[in-house]
Amino acid sequence: MTTRIEARFARLKEEGRPALVTFVMAGDPDHETALKIVEALPAAGADVIELGMPFSDPMADGPSIQKAGLRALKAGASMQRTLSLVKDFRKGDGDTPIILMGYFNPIYIYGVEAFVKDALEAGVDGLIVVDLPPEMDDELCLPALDAGLNFIRLATPTTDDKRLPAVLKNTSGFVYYVSITGITGSAAPDAGKVAAAVSRIKRHTDLPVCVGFGVRTAEQAAEIGGNADGVVVGSALVSAIEASSEKGGGDAALKAVTDIVASLAEGVRSARLAKP
């Protein structure tokens, strides 16, 4: 059966343009505002939504996403509430792919079998679990794939041709290429290096390749999107939520995020149109 993620990328391939993949943290700055933001993302231009699973020790994330997770936890976020957010989103949107992204610990505590079952029932389409290497596929990856969830793996600038086949072996939906070494939001990607890396990955797989980490502007999104199947933006949105919610509350956060997404979507949609 074709998943929502696979269907979305197939449609975008027909349209000849890359996807805009947006990341926000579940429960940030609070559950109600987070739900409103997620519900507004598709109309603003998001093609795929990554939803962060709040965790108290997010070692691969930069300060903005770390703080988002802590804000969410302080506001009462939990795995149960994250899944309920997805379920509520699905009441009004049956097409936009939702991917849960984060760390294995909250899933392990929830129980892998129960998590996979409840995630599917809520309307989750895929998982990105940044601290589960291919050597631990039995823990979550294979049960998730067997149940019909896509399992999206990260490739990085240090993932060489010898390591890449192991990374790709049980990956489905798309490959997430981390364009810089280090934590999220720490630097801007080099478009030339990204293009070369995407080309190299595509020699090993037919899966779409999406590029994230460091993309903040429409111009960057257009440049990266010219060589990738998708552009992932997270820290810029999370930072906007933090800044605007402190000043004007939930409505301000909602407007700030949708304004940025609309701008980024314009950049992404120009990426392939500009090609002859």
Cβ–Cβ < 8 Å for 90, 122: yes
Catalytic residue among 39, 47, 61, 118, which? Answer: 61
Write out the residue range of the structural domain in which residue 17 sits. 4-273
Backbone phi, then psi, for 49, in 5-degree steps? -115, 125
- What does the alpha-carbon distance between residue 37 and residue 237 come to, in Å, rounded to a whole number? 10
Structure tokens at 176: 């997430």
What string of pLDDT tens digits covers the 276 residues of the chain? 899 999 999 999 999 999 999 999 999 999 999 999 999 999 999 999 999 999 998 877 888 899 999 999 999 999 999 999 999 999 999 999 999 999 999 999 999 999 999 999 999 999 999 999 999 999 999 999 999 999 999 999 999 999 999 999 999 999 999 987 655 545 566 788 899 999 999 999 999 999 998 889 999 999 999 999 999 999 999 999 999 977 777 889 999 999 999 999 999 999 864 443
| Spacing of C-alpha 123 from chain mean position | 15
pLDDT value for 147: 97
Structure tokens at 162: 């010898």
Structure tokens at 68: 């988002």
pTM of the model: 0.94
Provide the domain count of the chain: 1
Instruction: Give the closest residue to 127 by CA, choosing from 86, 95, 160.
Output: 86
- What does the alpha-carbon distance between residue 254 and residue 214 come to, in Å, rounded to a whole number? 22
Our answer to whether residue 61 is catalytic in this structure is yes
pLDDT value for 120: 98
- What does the alpha-carbon distance between residue 64 and residue 242 come to, in Å, rounded to a whole number? 8
Per-position b or e across 129-145, b if 16+ CB within 10 A of its CB: bbebeeeebebbbebbb
Supply the CATH number for residue 15's domain. 3.20.20.70
Our answer to whether residue 50 is catalytic in this structure is yes
pLDDT value for 53: 98
Catalytic residue among 6, 50, 118, 137, which? Answer: 50
Instruction: Tell me the CA distances in angstroms from 226 to 201, 205, 243, 262, 273, one per residue in order.
Output: 16, 19, 30, 18, 9
